[in-house]
A and B are shown apart, each in its own frame.
Chain A
Amino acid sequence: MIQDKAQWLEEASKKIKVPKELIEKAFKDELDGNPSIDAPLEIPDIMDITYKYTYGGISRFFREIRDNKQLYGTKCTKCGKVWLPPRINCNECYTPTQWVKLGSTAGIVTYTIVYYGTSVFFGKTPYVCAFVKVAGADTLIMQNIFMEDVKKARIGMKLTIQFKEHRNGDMGDFWFVPAQEEL
C-alpha cells in the first residue's frame, strides 16, 4: 500500500512530467482500491534524453531555410540527379553532390490523411502527409500539406511552399499549401 498518497503523486508528477490529476486517475485502483499482494503492480515512468545534435554535411539546407526562406537540393556531380532530401554524396555514383536552388512549387505524388496521430500531434489532426515533388528535384520529399478541407487532397494537386514566421532550422519551418489555381 502507498503510505502517503499526496507525496507519491507529487513525486510521480515530477518524474514523468504529467499533471497529478491524470496520474491519480490512471492509478485509481492502486491508490484507492485494495489490491492483493499478488496483483500486478504498475509504476509510472518516462524515458527521456536531451541532445545537441548536428546536421553534419547538410547543415546548409536548414540554414538556407531558416535564414533565407529558400529550399535547396543537391545535384550529383556525375549523374546529375537532384536530391531532396539533400545528401552530400550520391548513392548511385559514390561521388560528391553540389548545392542547387529549388523552386517554390510542388505537386502531390501520393498522400494520406492522418486522423489519429501520436501524442505529439494532439490538436493537429486531421493532417495531410504527402510525398511531394518539388520543382527542380528528382526525388520526392515527405511534407505536410496545410489546407482547410483535408478531404480535397488528391494526387497531382499543385502546391506552393510556405515558411513559418519564426524559423528554427528544422523540417517544421516550411510546409506546402494548395496553389492558387487549386482553390
Chain B
Amino acid sequence: MNKVGIVGVGTTSFKARWLEKTYYELAYDAAKLALEDAGIDKKEVGGVVYGIYNEFFERQFMPDVYIHNYIGMGLKPSVRVATGGATGGAAVFVGWTWIASGLYDIVMVLGVEKATDNYNYTVGHPTPETLKAILFSGDMTFENPMGLTAAASYALPLIAHINKYGTPTEKQMAMVSIKNHKNAMNNPIAQSPKLLTVDDVLNSKMITYPFKFYDNCLYSEGASAIILASEKAAKALSDNPAWITGVGLSLDKAFAGERDDITVFTSSLYAGRDAYKMSGIKNPRKELDFAELHDAFTGAEILSYEAFNFCKPGDGGKLIEDGVVEMTGDLPVSPSGGLIGCGHAVGATGVMQTGEAALQVQGRAEKRQVKNARVGLVQSIGGPATAWTAAMIVERQDKIKGKVVKGSRAKAKAKVKAKAARRKR
C-alpha cells in the first residue's frame, strides 16, 4: 500500500445556521480553502470523496452530484459516503484507499452539512425536526416508532456501562463538557466556546437521561475539506505533510439488542485496533500525543477512552478527573473543542477532526497547539447505538521513514502536474 499524506486543510466556521449560504456554497468555501492551503489548482485533483449524512437536512437526495458540479470537478471520479455521524471519518477512510491503492495522486475529501434548514413551526426552532430527520436512520419498523433519538442511542450503552462499573459519574461527564467548551475558546471556527462550571452542567436542562443540555453537542452547519496526496505528490507539495499511517472502520450490529456486550463501544474497539496495528502503535496511552474523539455526548467520550485502550474498561472517568485528557495533560483529547465545543456539522465533522489532527502534527494549530504533537488519533462515530466507527492515526513527517531529497521537489511537482493534466478531460 502507498503512503497517504495530508497536504491541505480547509474548514468553514461551524455555526448554528449559515443563513447566507446553501450546502453547495459552503462546500465550495471549504474546497477553496483546502486547495489554497495545499497550493494546488482544482485541475490537479484526481477525484473527490463526499461526506454528507442526511437527505432531509440538505432537502436533497444525491446532494454530492450538485456539489461536484458547483465546485467545478465535472467528469472527475466521485463517490459519496453516508455513515451517520461517522460520515466524515468514513469519507476520509475511502479517500485514503484511493491514494493507498495507487489509483490517484491527489484526492479531495469534502464533508458538508446543512443541518438546520428544517424548522419546527410549533416551537419556532429547528431541533424537533432535525431529530425527526435523524430518526429516519433508526430501523423504521422496530426502532423509529420507539422514539430512539440520537441521544437515546448513546445513552442506552452508557447506562448499561454505569450499571456495571459505577462510572462515568455525572460529575466526570460534566468535566468533559467543561474541557471541550473551554478548548473551543482557542478555535476560531468553533460554535460553542464557553467557560462553564460543574454546576452549570449539572443544573442544565435534562435532555435524555443522563445527558443534560451541556452534555450534548449542538447541531451545526459547515463544511470541511482535506487534500490527500500520494507520497510522491505529498513530498512535492509540502516540506511538512501530515501522514495518515493507520485507518480502521467497523460496523457493529445495528440492532444493538443482538450485541454480546452493550456496555462497550465495540466498533471503536475494532476500528482502533486495526488503525493501531497498521501504525504499529502498541501502547496508545503512551504513544499518542493527542486525540480528536467523537464527543457527541460527554459520556461517549469517556467510553471511547476505554474502547481505544487509553485505560481499562471502567477507568475512563478517572482520565478526566486526573487531568490526563486536558490540554495540560499528557494525552489531550479534542483540542479543537470536539463536537461539543467546535460543533457537529455531521458530514463535515470527521473531515474537520482529521484536518485538525493534521494541523496539530504540522505544528499549525495556533492557540490550540499541543506541544510536540507527533501522533494523533481521530474517531468518527455513527449509526444506532454507536454502530459505526472510523478511526485514523495521523503522524508527523519526522516520524516517517524516508527523507525528501533536496532539490527534487520542483521536479516531482512538475511530474504530478503533468500527470494531472493528462487525466484532465
Contacts and interface: CB of A to CB of B under 8 A. Distances in A.
Interface stretch (B117-125, B393-401, B403-411): B117-125
Give the interface size bracket for B toward A. Answer: 35 or more
B59 A113 contact: no
Contact of A55 (B132, B141, B206): B141
A164 B15 CA distance: 44
B121 A22 contact: yes
B122 A25 contact: no
B155 A85 contact: no
Given A110-B157, A115-B209, A170 B122 contact: no
B142 A142 contact: yes
A52 B87 CA distance: 31
Interface stretch (A2-10, A94-102, A121-129): A121-129
B209 A40 contact: no
B256 A118 contact: no
A117 B156 contact: no
Nearest to A16: B121
Interface string B87-103: 00000000000000000
B149 A118 contact: yes
Interface string B118-150: 011110100111011001000001110111110
A116 B207 contact: yes
B152 interface: yes
B310 interface: no
Contacts of A119: 120, 122, 128-129, 131-132
A5 B349 CA distance: 40
Given A118-B135, A171-B145, A110 B262 contact: yes
Interface in B319-345: none
Contacts of B206: 113, 115
A51 B163 CA distance: 41
A107 to B, nearest CB: 13
B147 A120 contact: yes
A129 B148 contact: yes
A139 interface: yes
Given A25-B124, A140-B257, A114 B149 contact: yes
Which of B148, B159, B160, B207 has the largest count of A CB atoms less than 10 A from its CB? B159
Which of B129, B132, B142 has the largest count of A CB atoms less than 10 A from its CB? B142
If over half of A's interface residues share one DSSP class (helix, strand or loop), that class is named, otherwise mixed; here it is mixed
Nearest to B130: A118
A119 B143 CA distance: 16
B156 to A, nearest CB: 5
B255 interface: yes
A141 B122 contact: no
B75 interface: no
A85 B146 contact: no
A115 B148 CA distance: 12
A85 B142 contact: yes
B257 A45 contact: no
A172 B145 contact: yes
Given A26-B121, A114-B147, A114-B208, A141 B142 contact: yes
Nearest to A129: B152
A109 B262 contact: yes
A144 B160 contact: no
A110 B159 contact: yes
A16 B120 CA distance: 11
B142 A171 contact: yes
B252 to A, nearest CB: 13
Given A55-B141, A115-B209, A141-B142, A110 B128 contact: no
B41 interface: no
Given A40-B19, A142-B257, A155-B160, 6 more contacts: A19-B121, A22-B124, A25-B124, A114-B209, A119-B131, A171-B146
7 contacts: A23-B121, A116-B151, A116-B207, A118-B129, A141-B257, A142-B148, A171-B145
Interface of A: 16, 18-19, 22-23, 25-26, 40, 42, 45, 47, 55, 84-85, 109-122, 124, 127, 129-131, 139-144, 155, 170-172
